[in-house]
Amino acid sequence: MNQSALDLNSQRILVTGGAGFLGKQVVEQLCQAGASADKITVVRSRDYDLRQLEHCQRAVDQQDVVIHLAAHVGGIGLNREKPAELFYDNLMMGTQLIHSAYEAGVQKFVCVGTICAYPKFTPVPFKEEDLWCGYPEETNAPYGIAKKALLVQLQSYRQQYGFNGIYLLPVNLYGPEDNFDPKSSHVIPALIRKVHEAQERAEAQIPVWGDGSPTREFLYSTDAARGIVMGTQFYNDSEPVNLGTGDEISIKDLIELICELMGYNGELVWETDKPNGQPRRCLDTQKAIEQFGFLAEMQFRHGLQNTIEWYRQSLLHSA
């Protein structure tokens, strides 16, 4: 591990998506790692449309570090419904922001990529060098390829301009304040909401997409944020780095665990005409340990309990 840490206290730091689910945690972890709160800038989509070049230029002006979290993202349903939007929005936001940051003299650019960039049949556990060994899973390929293009851009800008850009690949995230909108949510919040609503309606069955066989790996949002900040501080190389736990769970075991934690005893009905998504997802996390000492800390069962409790409390507060 490289011990020459970036002194965050002296840096003016831009966090795109900093008001979102992961972004709030990143801002908090930056402050805990020594960044000055009054030097952190959070841009919101209502003020900055990062698909527009001039908005990117305005956002990066006078910044030392850019952490790019902003994304148009969702689960399988959104990926099937809006592949063109997901490709265009994520590509244009990222590529223009990187170029603007380079032109503005930003010292370091931290790009947060996606597990969806990996090939559909990547050997498990996913190693960073396997990123280019095939085409992504079809339902999320437009999103994954748009985000993967940003890795190529950062590597190209490092080679030609000496621009210090790094690329981090977090696995599927979960935690309090996640997106629970059924139209765009990922699997954990979608299942938590589905179980809760079945309980509210006293329904004896819950339909679940696919056949339950795919596996996923999940990283608690606080852990992910800590990993991103550690990468910002300590990592300065061109190769991508996975952020995860190294543990996988099948969708079948996941929904059964959520039902257990929420006290639901109904039947699961598998909708096998619906897509499964990528067959397996599990990361090799050794590089993050070696390069900047990151290890996930949250035990999965406890993280799920925290997420369920937050969702139930949010419903009480909104009632």
Query: Among the options 48, 102, 118, 143, which is catalytic?
Result: 143
Q: Is residue 143 annotated as part of the catalytic site, yes or no?
A: yes
Region 191-199: what's the mean pLDDT?
96
What domains are defined for the chain? 8-173+217-247+281-298 (3.40.50.720)
Q: Is 248 in contact with 49 (CB distance < 8 Å)? A: no
pLDDT band at 3 (very low <50, low <70, confident <90, very high): low
Please report the pLDDT score of residue 318 as a whole number.
78
- Mean of all residue pLDDT scores within the chain: 94
> Exposure of 285 by Cβ count < 10 A (0-12 exposed, 13-18 middle, 19+ buried)?
buried
- Report phi then psi at 40, rounded to 5: -100, 125
Q: For 68-115, what is each residue's pLDDT tens digit?
A: 999 987 777 787 899 999 999 999 999 999 999 999 999 999 999 999
DSSP for residue 123: P
Structure tokens at 1: 């591990």
Inter-CA distances, 301 with 29, 114, 129, 308, Å: 23, 23, 31, 11
> How far is residue 318's CA from residue 12's CA, in Å, rounded to a whole number?
36
Region 172-178: what's the mean pLDDT?
94
The enclosing H or E element of 227 equals helix 221-234
Please report the pLDDT score of residue 251 as a whole number.
95
Q: For 111-162, what is each residue's pLDDT tens digit?
A: 999 999 999 999 999 999 999 999 999 988 999 999 999 999 999 999 999 9
Region 182-201: what's the mean pLDDT?
92
Please report the pLDDT score of residue 278 as a whole number.
80
> What are the residues whose beta carbons fall under 8 Å from the beta carbon of 38, sequence distance 6 or more?
none
Region 196-218: what's the mean pLDDT?
95
